Amino acid sequence: MSIPRRADAVDAILAQWRRERPDLDVAPMGTIGRVKRCSALLQRELDKVFSAFGLSAWEFDVLATLRRSGAPYCLAPTTLFSTLMITSGTMTRQLQQLESAGLVSRMPNPNDARSMLVQLTPTGLELIERAVTAHVANEARLLAPIAAAELAQLDARLSELLAVLEPAAE
């Protein structure tokens, strides 16, 4: 037996579509609409923590990607932009901004004279250490109202959805 749930903003949209187009099964709109709405609302909450550290979401992502790569916290720009799913032109501008802020440095690649590597500076490492700690605490706060078993089910279902979507994005 399922527990009744509280109506949300997506329910109102679905009701409008059902009224206007009763011939359509709009149930998929509900699922995707809720995922999109959750994404937007979560991003707003995540951005609050990033901004407390003077970072935008993309800056956090670049610094976190370098940090989680392990010491010496250094990657090729192509690895960075493919991990972050952005274009090389966008990455170049972003790296210039991070370098100007003293958070990363670019240096010649000892294995390929034609390319550069991007490395966290000590200032960048210190900043991302503090920011990622606050970020994880924020994420835990956001998910705390949901029981652990329900979170595990949600995670499993989202993983199934990613398995369907990721091959389509390649």
Express each pLDDT in 27-58 by its tens digit: 999 999 999 999 999 999 999 999 999 999 99
CA separation, residue 147 to residues 38, 92, 93, 140, 152 (Å): 17, 42, 42, 12, 9
Residues 40 and 106 in one domain: no
Q: Give the Cα-Cα-Cα angle 47, 128, 59 (nearest 5 degrees).
A: 50
Regarding whether 26 and 66 lie in a shared domain, the answer is no
Burial string for 79-90 (b: 16+ CB within 10 Å, else e) reads: ebbeebebeeee
116 bridge partner residues: 108
Residue 86 shares a structural domain with residue 19: no
Residue 113 DSSP SS3: strand
**Same domain, yes or no: 87 and 18:** no
Domain-embedded: residue 114: yes
Q: In this model, does residue 72 exceed pLDDT 90? A: yes
| Domain of 46, in residue numbers | 9-52
pLDDT tens digits, 7-23: 899 999 999 999 999 99
Summarize pLDDT for 121-145 with one digit per residue, the tens: 999 999 999 999 999 999 999 999 9
8 Å CB contact between 100 and 39: no
Q: Which residues contact 80 (CB under 8 A, 6 or more apart)?
A: 62, 65, 66, 91, 95, 118
Beta carbons of 104 and 66 less than 8 angstroms apart: yes
Q: What residue ranges in the chain does DSSP mark as E strands? A: 74-75, 104-109, 112-120
65, 136: one domain: yes
Residue 34 and residue 19 share a domain: yes
pLDDT at 73 over 90: yes
In a domain, 108, yes or no: yes
- Please name which of 67, 25, 145 lies closest in space to residue 80, comparing C-alpha atoms: 67
Q: How many domains does the chain have?
A: 2
pTM of the model: 0.86
Mean pLDDT of the chain: 91
